[in-house]
Amino acid sequence: MGRETEIRARYSETDQMGIIYHANYFSWFEIGRTDFLRQMGMSYRGMEEKNILLPVIDVGCKYIIAAKYDDEIIIKTRITQLKGVKIQFNYELYRKNDNILLAEGHTLHAFVDKSLKPINFRKKHKDIWESLNKNLE
Amino acid sequence: MGRETEIRARYSETDQMGIIYHANYFSWFEIGRTDFLRQMGMSYRGMEEKNILLPVIDVGCKYIIAAKYDDEIIIKTRITQLKGVKIQFNYELYRKNDNILLAEGHTLHAFVDKSLKPINFRKKHKDIWESLNKNLE
Amino acid sequence: MGRETEIRARYSETDQMGIIYHANYFSWFEIGRTDFLRQMGMSYRGMEEKNILLPVIDVGCKYIIAAKYDDEIIIKTRITQLKGVKIQFNYELYRKNDNILLAEGHTLHAFVDKSLKPINFRKKHKDIWESLNKNLE
Amino acid sequence: MGRETEIRARYSETDQMGIIYHANYFSWFEIGRTDFLRQMGMSYRGMEEKNILLPVIDVGCKYIIAAKYDDEIIIKTRITQLKGVKIQFNYELYRKNDNILLAEGHTLHAFVDKSLKPINFRKKHKDIWESLNKNLE
């Protein structure tokens, strides 16, 4: 049930090693994550407007082959965990022209409100919870 | 009455040309600007907490010599304009080890509140206005 | 002869004012610029591989209405100057859903080689020069 | 044998949640790492000039309390692994004013040359290896 998003690596994302600076993979993951929600018919922007925020509480990334400027990248995103106050997404980044896996990672999020206090998401937003749960692998 | 702030160019700020990516000079200007206020005894963080925001409405930068990774940079900041709803800062960036001018630029800001509506700063915050005005060149 | 490119504002590009951080408009301009070249059948990546670099030597931007997270943005890019060692691009950013102008700016570039020395582009790369010149407004 | 580096959270590093965007912790780790080397009398800039690069191959970060704009942050950096072709750094981020742990993470690096090929660092750069090894915990 993974969903795919395509981006192109930006010049501003490179570093002087001639590759994409490693921290930028996490903003790519964020693009995969919000596009995943959009493809489900949800909107992270809309969630924030309803006072649901998803700050990151744990991340990891394994870098296999360096992405380079102008590479077209496919981000494959999946939901791999969904509990009362937490959701985890996993990501794989592929180089489009040869379908090689460049990196894989995860981000774990808490459901909180604007004051950054945890919310029992399953209870308070049952409909959204169930949509997410259908996409859990 | 310019004030000086020192920073060191970060690896994350480089691009594959082997120099500091040009957009990052504006976050350096921001550091000069907030440090300018701090040296005056003010705090931009505190201003935002009092519902005074300074979004940027016009910027410019002239790049003379490229800053490189690990360069120590001196940011010289001045206030060059202060009107009812606007303030302008000018910046010069020097490479510390040889005191060469690398770039110069400006940022023009509006005084607004959190809803991004303009505020008559001079009237509503007379004390801060006067401190800023003493630093106007 | 302006060309258009569409992007979507990223969460990573916001700041705590709730808008897109101003420096990020310059990486959007860069996307417009490289996509302009791509639409002409050229590739900035390919130019760098041929030892042609386009470092930025002057920029400016006027911010009219703040772009926000998840906004779809249309970047309109034009070439407005082309001289022996310099090229200038101008940009307009429109919010797609209501076609409102959010910002406009320019970037001026030098043609240099990898050692950052100026090259007489018109002479050395006549074919590319002429393509660019056809797009000059 | 951990070493400490102090930074101040930048406005450009915030996001619209009102906290420091999570990916930016990795550029803070990079500052801790290069400052660690500097405190040892080494320079990462110098290493790159000697054709030794340290691309990142695995990272992780656990976020405990959100860092905010203008926070003074202490980065505690240690070397926790040193093998033939790999080095790992661990990091803890503390908020200076109350000494609270905000986050902890790691970065694992390969020793490679400019063509991104692994080098047997221990053999080729024995002196640097031994300095690093003395700092291994």
Closest CA to D58 of A91, A107, A103: A103
Tokens 């000039």: give the residue: D49
User: What is the distance in angstroms between the Cα of A68 and the nearest Cα belonging to chain C?
Assistant: 10
CB contact under 8 A, B23 and C26: yes
User: Does the beta carbon of B85 lie under 8 angstroms from any beta carbon of chain C?
Assistant: no
Where b means 16+ CB within 10 Å and e means fewer, C99-114 reads: eeebbbbbbbbbbbee
Q: Is residue B87's pLDDT more than 70?
A: yes
Average pLDDT of every residue of chain A: 95
Sign of the C-alpha dihedral computed for residues A124, A126, A128 and A134 taken in this order: positive
| CA–centroid distance for C46 within its chain | 16
Residues of D in contact with B27 (CB under 8 A): 10-12
Which are the catalytic amino acids of D?
A: 15
Q: Is residue C58's pLDDT more than 90?
A: yes
Q: What is residue A77's predicted lDDT score, i.e. its pLDDT?
A: 98
User: Does the beta carbon of B69 lie under 8 angstroms from any beta carbon of chain D?
Assistant: yes
C:D CB pairs within 8 Å: 28
CB contact under 8 A, C56 and B19: no
User: Does the beta carbon of A31 lie under 8 angstroms from any beta carbon of chain C?
Assistant: yes
User: What is the distance in angstroms between the Cα of A57 and the nearest Cα belonging to chain B?
Assistant: 22
Domains and CATH numbers, chain C: 3-134 (3.10.129.10)
CB contact under 8 A, D60 and A59: yes
Kindly indicate the confidence band of residue C120, based on its pLDDT and cuts at 50, 70 and 90: confident
C68 contact partners, CB below 8 Å, separation of at least 6: C9, C14, C18, C19, C20
Which of B11, B26, B34 is the closest to D34 by Cβ?
B11
CB contact under 8 A, D12 and C11: no
Average pLDDT over residues C55-62: 98
Q: What is residue B120's predicted lDDT score, i.e. its pLDDT?
A: 87
A15 noted as active-site residue: yes
Q: What is residue A120's predicted lDDT score, i.e. its pLDDT?
A: 87
Checking B6-10 for CB contacts under 8 A at 24+ apart, the result is B6/B72, B6/B73, B6/B74, B6/B75, B6/B96, B7/B31, B7/B72, B7/B73, B7/B75, B8/B70, B8/B71, B8/B72, B8/B73, B9/B67, B9/B68, B9/B69, B9/B70, B9/B71, B9/B72, B9/B73, B10/B69, B10/D27, B10/D30, B10/D31
Q: What is residue B63's predicted lDDT score, i.e. its pLDDT?
A: 98
d(CA B121, CA D8): 28
Q: What is residue C97's predicted lDDT score, i.e. its pLDDT?
A: 97
Q: Is residue A84's pLDDT more than 90?
A: no
Residues of A in contact with B27 (CB under 8 A): none
Pick the catalytic residue: B15, B58, B70, B113? B15
SS3 per residue for A63-128:
ECCCCCCCCEEEEEEEEEEECCCEEEEEEEEEECCCCEEEEEEEEEEECECCCCCECCHHHHCHHH
User: Phi and psi (nearest 5°) for A24?
Assistant: -70, -20
d(CA A128, CA A44): 11
User: Element (H or E) spanning D29, and its range?
Assistant: helix D24-39
Per-residue pLDDT of chain D (137 residues; tens, 9 = 90+): 689 999 999 999 999 999 999 999 999 999 999 999 999 999 999 999 999 999 999 999 999 999 999 999 999 999 999 988 899 999 999 999 999 999 999 999 999 998 889 998 888 899 999 999 999 98
User: What is the distance in angstroms between the Cα of A126 and the nearest Cα belonging to chain C?
Assistant: 25
Average pLDDT over residues C72-99: 96
Q: What is residue D133's predicted lDDT score, i.e. its pLDDT?
A: 95
Q: What is residue A72's predicted lDDT score, i.e. its pLDDT?
A: 98
User: Between the CA of residue A78 and those of A72, A136, B40, C53, C113, what are the distances in Å?
Assistant: 20, 7, 50, 39, 43
Average pLDDT over residues A108-116: 93
Say what the ipTM of the complex is. Answer: 0.95
Q: Is residue A105's pLDDT more than 70?
A: yes
**How many Cα atoms sit within 13 Å of B63 on the Cβ side?**
23
Residues of A in contact with D24 (CB under 8 A): 23
